[in-house]
């Protein structure tokens, strides 16, 4: 059966209109960069607090300074124009408490070991200044499978997602998807980068 050129063109026009009505959800792909922190050295990734990581975190905090990479290793970890991430880990809890005291010229405290043991990994997602892409979800994938968060909370600056340790183990690459209303930012975190996380 032959279709006339006019009917063919009208069919293409209808398809174009329908396609334009379907919202497109762009995906931007980036690669994670973890700030290098030569001292104290660390290459075991995010772990439940133990004796070794606790004292390593205390040494990290004692470095002082305005922006020690061992405390703020997550600065710009998945840098993009829409969202910025902030990780809160047991290591960071201990290191930050010591660092905050040292920079105020106070004696280094002994952070609560029990509290550090109870701390899980929380990832905060905040909008970058000027971004119009509101976050709707954070998806962590290992080996192509989604890893469920154990808790989600809302704050004035953005949502917080809490995970158990296996989600961030440096045994496989992780893909982190920051799902926004207008586009998704997909960030590949390779095993080598996961190993530097504290």
- Which string of DSSP letters, residue by residue, matches the chain? ----HHHHHHHHHHHHHHHHHSPP-EEEEEE--PPP--SS---S-S----HHHHHHHHHHHTT-SS--TTTSTTTTTT--SSEEEEEE-HHHHHHHHHHHHHHTT-------HHHHHH--EEEEEEEPTT----EEEEEEEETTEEE--SEEEE-SS-EEEEE-GGGG-TTS-EEEEEEESSEEEEEEE-HHHHHH--
Task: Report the percent of the chain where pLDDT is more than 70.
Answer: 87
pLDDT of residue 143: 92
Q: How far apart are the first and last CA of the chain?
A: 67
Structural domain spans, the chain: 25-196
Q: CB-based contacts of 43: which residues, under 8 Å, 6+ apart?
A: 195, 196
Confidence band (pLDDT; 50, 70, 90) for 185?
A: very high
Confidence band (pLDDT; 50, 70, 90) for 125?
A: very high
pLDDT of residue 8: 52
Confidence band (pLDDT; 50, 70, 90) for 21?
A: very low
Confidence band (pLDDT; 50, 70, 90) for 17?
A: very low
pLDDT, tens digit, 9 for 90 and up, residues 36-81: 998 999 999 999 999 999 999 999 999 989 999 999 999 999 999 9
């Amino acid at each position: 059966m032959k279709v006339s050129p006019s009917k063919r063109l009208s069919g293409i026009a209808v398809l174009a209109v329908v396609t334009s009505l379907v919202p497109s959800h762009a995906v931007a792909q980036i690669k994670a960069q973890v700030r290098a922190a030569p001292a104290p050295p660390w290459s075991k990734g995010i772990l439940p607090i133990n004796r070794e990581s606790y004292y390593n975190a205390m040494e990290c905090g004692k470095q002082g300074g305005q922006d020690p990479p061992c405390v703020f290793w997550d600065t710009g970890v998945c840098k993009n124009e829409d969202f910025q991430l902030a990780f809160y880990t047991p290591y960071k809890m201990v290191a930050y408490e010591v660092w905050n005291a040292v920079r105020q010229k106070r004696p280094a405290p002994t952070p609560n070991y029990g509290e550090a043991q109870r701390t899980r990994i929380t990832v905060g997602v905040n909008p970058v200044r000027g971004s119009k892409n509101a976050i709707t979800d954070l998806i962590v994938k290992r080996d192509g499978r989604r890893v469920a968060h154990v808790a989600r909370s809302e704050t004035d600056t953005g949502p917080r997602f809490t995970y158990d340790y296996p989600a961030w183990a440096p045994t496989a690459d992780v893909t982190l998807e920051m799902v926004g209303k207008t586009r998704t930012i997909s960030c590949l975190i390779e095993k080598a980068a996961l190993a530097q996380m504290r």
